[in-house]
Structure 1
Amino acid sequence: MEIEDGLGRLLADGVSELRPPVGEMVREAGRIGRRRRRVRRLVAGGAAVLAVAVVAAGPAVWPDRWGAPREVAAGPPTLATVSGGPSGPAVTAEPPPVDATWPSVLQVLSDVLPPGGRFVGLDPYATSGADVDRVAAVVVGYERNSAPVSLTVRMYRNVRPADVATACADFGAGEQRYKDRGPRQPGVEEAGCRTRLLADGGTLFSGVTHTTVGGFFEDVVRLYRPNGELVELRAGNGVVGDAVMPRPPFGPTWWEEAVQRPEWAFRVPASTAAAGDRLAATVSRQPCPQAVPASSCVQ
């Protein structure tokens, strides 16, 4: 019994020493709970800021689980030019369109023509910039497997409907004063003109001029747009006065299609204007006529 009574006292004393400090545990639990709530609020606020930053920044690149980057799209793409660099691609917006000028018209002519030719002998007097109703005009030599032939582009606005209605008659009346004064090769189109109404309300004009003494003549096509704009293309079988081939290059049907190309715009992309300036600087010029002031010739 004495042994059992001694063991009982020892157990009772051990249990009394293990009594937990309940008050201190409650206070510590309160402190931990408050810290956790503050952390949750900070995490929620940081996630919101990150979400706003992602939306504002647009597409982001995140690594996938293998470490390779992948693009996360944040919206539809916009028109831009992308140039690479040491720090990654830089995106710049395309500048707004600009008014057409004779260099930009020359660039469009270069884009429309088949590859393999080159421009020579720009006529600085016939080539000109904006006038009252004329937007631009270009007269230039074109070499393609032969001596140069003349190509002409003229663009006008504010063309009257009456001018469209009488286009062929006026052309024919003007040509009647000359008729063929030089040789025309057999099988080559005769002088004359025709018009055709297009589905959009425009009018397509196609004509062939009479020959000069030297056998020179031109294919002439015009697009009369419903809004009063006019685009005219002329292609010769040589330079004015002398023929170097039986007929102008490509033929009337090709030029009829070419004049309807949408690139003949009165406002062009800034990149086209810049390319035209660069192209114009590489084309040789004919001398400015002595009878006209130098200011009347393009530089």
Structure 2
Amino acid sequence: MGLEDDLTGMLAESVHELSPPVSAMVAEGKRAGRRRLKIRRSLQAVGAAAVVAALVSTVAVLGPRPGGSDTVQAAGPATGAGTGSSAPASVPSAGGAGRGGSSTSPSPSPSVPAEPATADLSWQAMLKILSDLLPPGAHLGNLDPFAVKFRTGADARYIELQYNDGHGASTVMVEVSRGGRPSPVTCENWGGGSDEGTRKPGYEKPACLFEQLPDGGTLRSFVTGTDVAGLYDEMVHLVRPDGVTVSVTAANATLDQYTGQGGLPITVTRDRPPLGLAGWKDVARSPKWQFKVPQSVADAGVAFARTVSRFPCPKDAKKADCVID
């Protein structure tokens, strides 16, 4: 897919009365709403100032991504994404079977009532949930406050940061949303599998998979084509029966700080994104992604977020644009 198609997709976001075929083309060009972030970087790098200015006026969320390299280790071991925690096994009572005597049945453990979900899902809670769902040894850092600020709303929560599993950092994006229009993109009309840059032998092949889940939800998974820098994504898009959508994107690269010195602010760090599609499916299907969470999760998120490094605010943005605490 050419750069012209990507620009058409970005500029068409503000048009709400589109016919279905045009909507499908727009969705394809946006790479499910994420690739526009990378395309603007490319435009900046080649000095397309006039086009960038037009994009800024049309899509407020687009902006240069500042960067850094500090990472922190995510707290906690991995949990089984997509399943609830197992109940503890019942413990036999102290009055067990005596020698030559009668035995008593183990006393059932009293059930612990679940903590009510009374707190709003915050970006801090999302960080903690994500860290708990990742394998042991995960490192999270370089949270992008600018992206968090402008992609968070009444019906959307968003985080964007770098995840390093020890084999190269990856920019990861997680969005939890509700009430949006159904995406017109299907595997039949998806056009995100073409390469603009080099696809190395170790890269995954472009793919689109659609699954109808037993609970009535749908799951779409993608391996995208490469962009001009050689970056490609693994993407998972879950639509649940309760109307909540969970989207996860992981790259084989990092979106770095744009310095204005030329060159692409993208670093390809590995042949394949971490976890793989199966792993990101498990992350997306975790029942922990809810708009209301227990207060303990919200509190743990605030504490964990203090340990996660952040990108500085972009030079062309107001400081208020990066205030998320």
TM category (shorter chain) comes to: 0.5 to 0.7
Matching of residue 150 in structure 1 with residue 195 in structure 2:
no
Counterparts of 2:209 and 2:111, CA distance in 1: 46
User: Which TM-score applies when normalising by structure 2?
Assistant: 0.58
Alignment of 1:125 onto 2:140: no
% identical aligned pairs? 36
Unaligned runs of 5+ in 2: 1-106, 256-265
Q: Please, which runs of 5 or more residues in structure 1 have no aligned partner? A: 1-72, 81-93
2:277 aligned residue (243, 252, 256): 252
Tell me the equivalent position of 2:199.
Answer: 184
Measure, in 2, the Cα distance between the counterparts of 1:207 and 1:195.
Answer: 9
Structure-1 separation of matches of 2:228 and 2:155: 33
Pair 78,250 (structure 1): closer, same or farther in 2 beyond 3 Å? closer
| Conserved 8 A contact 1:99-1:268 | yes
From 76, 79, 93, the counterpart of 2:113: 79
Measure how far apart 1:181 and its partner are: 2.1
* Alignment partner of 1:213 out of 209, 228, 231: 228
Q: Give the structure with the larger strand fraction.
A: 1
Question: Partner residue of 1:19?
Answer: none
Tell me, in whole angstroms, the C-alpha distance in 2 between the residues paired with 1:213 and 1:285. 26
Matches within 5 A, 1:97-116: 97-116=118-137
User: How far apart are 1:186 and its partner, in Å?
Assistant: 2.1
Would you say the 8 A contact 1:96–1:270 is kept in 2?
yes
1:263 CA displacement = 1.3
Q: CA RMSD in A?
A: 2.5
Q: Please report how far the alpha carbon of residue 120 of structure 1 lies from its aligned counterpart in structure 2 after TM superposition.
A: 1.3
Task: Give the drift of 1:218.
Answer: 1.0
For the pair 1:222 / 2:247, whether they are aligned, the reply is no
CA shift for structure 1 position 171:
8.0
Asked if 1:195 corresponds to 2:235, the answer is no
Distance 1:246 1:239, change over 3 A: same
Match of 1:168 among 186, 195, 201: 186
Q: For residues 119-167 of structure 1, give each alpha carbon's deviation from its aligned partner in whole angstroms, at most 9, with x where no partner exists.
A: 1111111123741431x1000111221342111100110133xx24x23
The answer as to 2:299 corresponding to 1:274 is yes
Distance 1:255 1:77 in 2: 32
* CA distance in structure 1 between the partners assigned to 2:179 and 2:171 by the alignment: 27
- After superposition, what is the alpha-carbon deviation per residue over 1:63-101, rounded to whole angstroms, capped at 9, x for unaligned? xxxxxxxxxx9xx66538xxxxxxxxxxxxx56521101
